[in-house]
Each structure stands twice: as C-alpha cells, then as structure tokens.
Amino acid sequence: MARFIFITGGVVSSLGKGLASAALGALLQARGFTVRLRKLDPYLNVDPGTMSPFEHGEVFVTDDGAETDLDLGHYERFTGVAARMTDSVSSGRIYSNVLEKERRGDYLGKTIQVIPHVTNEIKDFIRIGEDEVDFMLCEIGGTVGDIEGLPFFEAIRQFSQDKPRGQCIFMHLTLLPYMRASGELKTKPTQHSVKELRSIGIAPDILVCRSEGPIPQKEREKLALFCNVRPDAVIAAQDLSSIYDAPLAYHREGMDQAVLDAFQISPAPRPDLSIWEDVADRIHNPEGEVRVAVVGKYTQLEDAYKSIAEALTHGGMANRVKVRAEWIDAEIFEREDPAPYLEGFDAILVPGGFGERGTEGKIKAAEFARTRKVPYLGICLGMQMAVIEAARNLADLGDAGSEEFDHEAGKKRFTPVVYHLKEWVQGNHKVSRKLTDAKGGTMRLGAYDAVLKAGSKVAEVYGSLAIEERHRHRYEVDIKYREALEAQGLKFSGMSPDGRLPEIVEVEDHPWFIGVQFHPELKSKPFAPHPLFRDFVRAAKENSRLV
C-alpha cells in the first residue's frame, strides 16, 4: 500500500508547490522508491481545457487524453512517470460526478451534502492506484483559507484518519517575506497559515519555506516552536537560478530525509543523484548560446508556453548550449516587416494556439524561415501556418487558409487547406465530431501513432519509422492538397497509420524546416530531451556558427 504525502500551500499562491512536489518525487525515486504524483484543483471548471492560457497557463495533455494543469508537466519532467487521467481532478469534476450519481439514484434518496458525499468522492479519487507505488504525492491547488478548497482539505483530513497511523503525512509550503527596511525575515505569515491549517484539523509534519535567501537558525527554531514541527523538518526553499537545481537543493536542505523520518523509514536507502548532478552540470556549464524566436499569441504570459520553454532548455542541455528563447507577439508581423525582428535569431519556433488572431503574423514568420533558410519548428497551429504559407506562396493558392478562421468570422473567405476534423480512428474505434459539439474534451486528444517516411529528415531525427506523440487539436491539414504541395518541395513525411491525417511536413532543400501536428514538448525531459527539440537546437547551433 502506498504511503501518502499531501502537499498544501499557504500565504500566497504560485509559490512552487508543483515544483516542490516534483522535486520530492525525483528524490524519492533516487532512493529507489516508486512514486506517482497527483493534482487536486479547487476550481469549478471540469478541466482547464476551455480556459484561456492567460487565465491558467498552458494545458498539459496526458497519453490517455486528459487536459490537465501544467503542474502535471513538472511531475513528468522530474520523475519520468507518464501522468494519467486519474492524476488530475477539479472541483468541477468531483461535483459533476456527485450530481450524476444523484440523478441516477445512487444515493438512495439521501440529502446530498459536501460531507460526506463530496468528500467521499475526493477520497475515492485519491485511492485510485494506491497499490501500484510506494509513495503517492497529492498536491492541493490554491491556498489554505480559500473557500473553494475547503472540501479538499476536509477530504485529506478524513483520508489520513481512515488510513493506519503513520501512512499519511502533510507538507505545507509557505512564504517567508523579507522586510528590507528592517532587515528582517518575517515568520508571522507562516505562523498564521499553519494556524489556519490546524483549525481545519490538519497539522503539518514538514514545513517548506520559500525565501529569497537562507533562513537563519533563530528563525528556524521559531518556526519549529510556533508551528509545532521538528526543527529538522523546517526546509528552506531559496530562489534558484534553474528549476532543475531543485532536487539537489531540496536534498541539501534535507527534505527527502525529513519525509522518510516522518514515515519512520529507517535505515533509508542512500540516494543516487548522478542524473541530477549531470543535469545541473549541463545547465550551468554551457559551451555557447543560441537565440530562438518563439512567435506566438500568448507571449505576455510565459506559462502559456511552459512545456515549450522547458523542452528548448532540454534541447540546449543535449547540445551543451544555453537556449535564449525570446517571445515575440505574432500580431506585430501583421503590421510590420518581420525581418528586422527575426534576422538576429538562430532558429524560429511557432507554437500552437487557437483562433485567428496573430495567424497572419505566424504565416510571415514561417515564410521568413523558409526563404532565409533559418531552422524552423512549427507545432500544431505552427505546422498549419507553414502549410498555408507554402500553399499561398508556392502552390498558387493565394486564398489558402483554415476553416477555423472562417468558422470564427462566420463567413467563407479562404480555400480550406486546413479543415475541421470530423472523423478519426482512435485505437480500434472511430471517433466522430461536429462543429456544434460542446467545446470541452472534444478535440483529438492524447497519444496517437504516426508512420514516418523512410529517408525523411524526421525519420533521421527520431531514428525510427514509427512514433507515438500527444495531440490536442480539432483542425487538420487537408490531404487533398498533398500532391500540389509536395510538387513544390513541402513533403508530407509523417502520416497517421491509415494514411488519412498528415502528422509531419518538412521542406526539402532546407537546413531544418519541420512542422508537426502534435505537441512534442509534452514528452521532453531534462534527462531525456525530445528528439525533435534536441535536433532543432543542434540545427540552431550550426546556424549560429554560420552567421
């Protein structure tokens, strides 16, 4: 049976609970334990799939097709454990399940209440797969004191009582603000946060305190005394220059040892941290730098492209270079010539997105990369824009565009080189979709196979003719334009197994120009960079030496 670690947050949001959870998972793995990480989000959306990236950052997609919080991306990147649909749940999903059961009559006429019905549903979710791993780490979204989070806090309190003594512990992450005027590190916000947690029946076993610098011994002792934790369970979480320093930094602070002590696991296996030492070495000792322009529409919030930023970092680590990603708003290119903005870059990446805003700018970025022989990686919408650019400028389809933009505008303006995907094969069955379907969870989501063309650039990059990648889209490049585009040098080098859906295009007679319909960034890890990002950065590195 798994031991459970519940990670909560206090004082302010965005302190890095997800990163702390992921780093702890990596440390427990380094000691030979198996782990699974879970996220319980208090918001009422069923999942983040319909949220704006400005609201919530990127949507992370699992192999089994769940749209989840971006923290699951951290979990995967640090532990290598593929997340599942059962590793993410929101209040919306919980309440939806409870109401469905009530409508079916599952509760036999009882009055439905937060306790026990909602809390039981949360506990049932936490129990899924508990016999599969040594440790289950469950992060509770939001901050203690949030009204919408109360059912989750109550559920984990009950859960810890349901389990045998010593099978659950609580880790609380807070902020120690530094008052520059008085030169003091303040512990009072943390004390109040723990007081709030204890008022709902949860006493933290471990306190993780975010701070700009080290925590003096006097403050540690004060926190231990007033928050009723052991002094060696007060863990300092200082600001780091790279998130990939977190496992080593938390180990030096004794986080993994504090967890094992809380569970009374002794003697504990010694950790093998060689993977993270190598990661840190590659991060901090690059042998050069490359500049990559990311031309997107959500550039004001870097979390909107979190996995892309991390995958570029991983590609840099594989090539021993630092990748300086610079975010450029695609809408600028709809008003101005892209050349002055893009000429200094070693490579160009156009990420995914939804809606017409900024797409003409993305098309111009693809044209610049193709004509100037600059390495180009187009992801999802970025691939579609590259195809539209080639159709317009090479294949004499001057009005080439996407049905997505016509649907958004409510009138026909383009020849639909990209169309609304109405039918596709998933496993052994056929999936059908209509434009009028509800938006949530109706895209082509999750892992799908693709077959690569022998002798193509992507086959060389992957070192294989068969791949599996994660998708999140509802529009697709139309296969009927393949012949006209291939005659102009845009090759369809990756297809779905049934040969109906284009997965990858690449430009012949170009150093590196690849567009993919899937999201390779979602499977990249610091210790296992994705092949496409590894080779894209290699091409950028080569290009930087030509300049």
DSSP assignment letter at 177: -
Q: Do the Cβ atoms of 537 and 318 come closer than 8 Å?
A: yes
Cis peptide before 116 (omega within 30 of 0): yes
Closest of 517, 325, 347 to residue 419, by C-alpha: 517
Among candidate residues 172, 510, 519, 530, the one labeled active-site is 519
Closest of 305, 292, 294 to residue 54, by C-alpha: 305
CA–CA dist 385, 374 (Å, integer): 16
Cβ-based neighbours of 217, under 8 Å, separated by 6 or more: none
Binding site listing for CTP? 13, 146-148, 186-191, 222
Around Cβ 379, how many Cβ atoms within 10 Å? 26
Three-state DSSP class for 261?
A: helix
CA–CA dist 99, 547 (Å, integer): 62
DSSP string of 353-418, one letter each residue: --SSTTHHHHHHHHHHHHHHT--EEEETHHHHHHHHHHHHHTSS-TTEEEHHHHHHHTS--SEEEE
Q: Do the Cβ atoms of 401 and 417 come closer than 8 Å?
A: yes
Buried b (16+ CB within 10 A) or exposed e, 305-324: bbbbbbbbbbbbbbbebbbe
Three-state DSSP class for 218?
A: helix
Helices (H), 179-229: 188-199, 217-227
- Residue 192 among the catalytic residues: no
Q: How many CA atoms lie within 13 Å of 104's alpha carbon, on the beta-carbon side? A: 7
User: Phi/psi of residue 78, each to 5°?
Assistant: -90, -30
CA–CA dist 263, 186 (Å, integer): 30
Regarding beta strands 178-179 and 184-185, do their DSSP bridges make them parallel or antiparallel, or are they unpaired? antiparallel
Q: Helix, strand, coil shares of the chain as percentages rounded to 5?
A: 40, 25, 35
CA–CA dist 317, 251 (Å, integer): 22
Three-state DSSP class for 501?
A: coil
Q: How many CA atoms lie within 13 Å of 535's alpha carbon, on the beta-carbon side? A: 16
Binding site listing? 13-19, 71, 139, 146-148, 186-191, 222, 240, 353, 381-384, 404, 474
- Residue 227 among the catalytic residues: no
CA–CA dist 531, 463 (Å, integer): 9
CA–CA dist 396, 384 (Å, integer): 17
Binding site listing for L-glutamine? 353, 381-384, 404, 474
DSSP assignment letter at 449: E
- Report residue 320 as tokens: 């021993």
Among candidate residues 227, 503, 521, 530, the one labeled active-site is 521
Positive or negative torsion for Cα 356, 360, 363, 369: negative
Could you identify the residue written with the tokens 């180990």?
251
Among candidate residues 380, 389, 473, 510, the one labeled active-site is 380
Annotated active-site positions, please? Answer: 380, 519, 521
